[in-house]
C-alpha cells in the first residue's frame, strides 16, 4: 500500500490519495462504500469527494441498486488517471531498440512529415508572428510546455520547458532533431537556431527565429 500511495502526487491530502487509490482499484464506489472501506463517516467522505470533484479528479453518476433512491457511483476522471505512473517510454524504448539505424530513420521521418503536414494546415494564411504563436501552441498541445516570445520586430523565440520525448531522446537523439526541423520547415522565411538544449543540461530547449 505504501508503494502505491507514493506513486500519487504528494501534493494531495492523504485521505484524498486513499480515495483515489480505492476508486482506481475498484473502478467506482459509492460514498457509503468508501466510508466503510476507509473507516470514516459518510459526511467526511463526501466533503473530500466534493473537493476532488471540484479539482476535476472525480466524477459521479447515479445508479439504481435495488429498491429505493439511486446511489451515486464515484469514479476517476481521465485527468485523475494522469496521477498514476505510466511507463510508455519504457515500452517505446524497448521497441525502438529492436530496429536498425535505417528503420529508425524511416520511423522518425514519417513522424516528422506528419507533423509538418498538420503544421502547414494550421499555419496557412498567417503572418510570421502569428505562425510563431500558433506553432508554439501546437508544440504545447504535444506536451512540450511551449511559449512564444518576440524580442524585436524581426526576432522571435520558441521556448520548450518540457521534453515530451525526454526518456526516448536520451537514447535516440534522432527524436531531438525533429523540433528544429519542424520549426525550420514551417518558417521558411526565417533562420532558426537552437540556442538552449535540455540534453546539454539547460532548463529549456530554446529556438531563435530571425526573419530574413
Specify the length of the chain in residues: 212
Q: Residue 20 maps to which CATH number?
A: 1.10.10.10
Taking 70 as the threshold, does the pLDDT of residue 79 lie above it? yes
Where is the domain boundary, 27, 56, 81? 81
Q: What is the pTM of this model?
A: 0.59
Taking 80 as the threshold, does the pLDDT of residue 64 lie above it? no
Question: Is residue 52 located within the same domain as residue 103?
Answer: no
Gap between the Cα atoms of 137 and 145, Å rounded: 9
Where is the domain boundary, 40, 66, 81? 81
CA nearest neighbour of 24 among 92, 76, 65: 76
Confidence bin at 53 (pLDDT 50/70/90): very high
Q: Domain residues for 68?
A: 2-81
Q: Per DSSP, what are the bridge partners of residue 208?
A: 157, 193
Contact 76, 56 (CB under 8 A): no
Q: Is 191 helix (H, G, I), strand (E, B) or coil?
A: strand
Question: Is residue 92 located within the same domain as residue 33?
Answer: no
Contact 24, 84 (CB under 8 A): yes
Taking 70 as the threshold, does the pLDDT of residue 31 lie above it? yes
Confidence bin at 114 (pLDDT 50/70/90): very high
Element (H, E) at 112: helix 101-123
Mean pLDDT of the region 62-71: 66
Gap between the Cα atoms of 125 and 115, Å rounded: 18
Q: Is 53 helix (H, G, I), strand (E, B) or coil?
A: helix
Confidence bin at 82 (pLDDT 50/70/90): confident
Chain centroid, CA 160 distance in Å: 13
Gap between the Cα atoms of 162 and 75, Å rounded: 30
Question: Is residue 105 located within the same domain as residue 76?
Answer: no
Element (H, E) at 33: helix 31-38
Q: Residue 192 maps to which CATH number?
A: 3.30.1380
Chain centroid, CA 30 distance in Å: 30
Contact 61, 72 (CB under 8 A): yes
Contact 149, 160 (CB under 8 A): no
Gap between the Cα atoms of 48 and 16, Å rounded: 6
Amino acid at each position: 500500500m505504501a508503494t502505491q500511495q507514493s506513486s500519487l502526487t504528494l501534493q494531495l491530502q492523504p485521505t484524498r490519495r486513499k480515495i483515489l487509490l480505492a476508486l482506481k482499484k475498484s473502478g467506482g464506489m459509492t460514498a457509503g462504500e468508501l466510508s466503510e472501506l476507509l473507516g470514516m463517516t459518510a459526511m467526511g467522505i463526501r466533503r473530500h469527494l466534493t473537493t476532488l470533484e471540484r479539482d476535476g479528479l472525480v466524477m459521479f453518476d447515479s445508479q439504481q441498486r435495488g429498491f429505493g433512491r439511486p446511489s451515486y457511483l464515484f469514479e476517476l476522471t481521465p485527468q485523475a488517471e494522469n496521477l498514476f505512473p505510466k511507463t510508455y517510454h519504457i515500452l517505446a524504448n524497448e521497441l525502438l531498440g529492436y530496429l536498425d539505424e535505417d528503420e529508425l530513420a524511416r520511423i522518425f521521418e514519417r513522424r516528422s512529415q506528419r507533423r509538418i503536414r498538420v503544421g502547414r494546415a494550421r499555419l496557412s494564411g498567417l503572418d510570421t508572428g502569428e505562425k510563431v504563436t500558433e506553432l508554439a501552441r501546437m508544440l504545447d498541445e504535444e506536451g512540450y510546455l511551449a511559449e512564444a516570445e518576440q524580442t524585436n520586430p524581426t526576432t522571435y523565440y520558441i521556448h520548450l520547458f518540457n521534453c515530451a520525448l525526454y526518456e526516448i531522446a536520451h537514447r535516440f537523439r534522432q527524436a531531438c532533431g525533429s523540433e528544429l526541423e519542424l520549426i525550420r520547415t514551417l518558417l521558411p522565411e526565417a533562420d532558426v537556431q537552437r540556442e538552449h538544449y535540455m540534453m546539454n543540461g539547460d532548463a529549456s530547449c530554446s529556438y531563435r527565429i530571425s526573419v530574413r
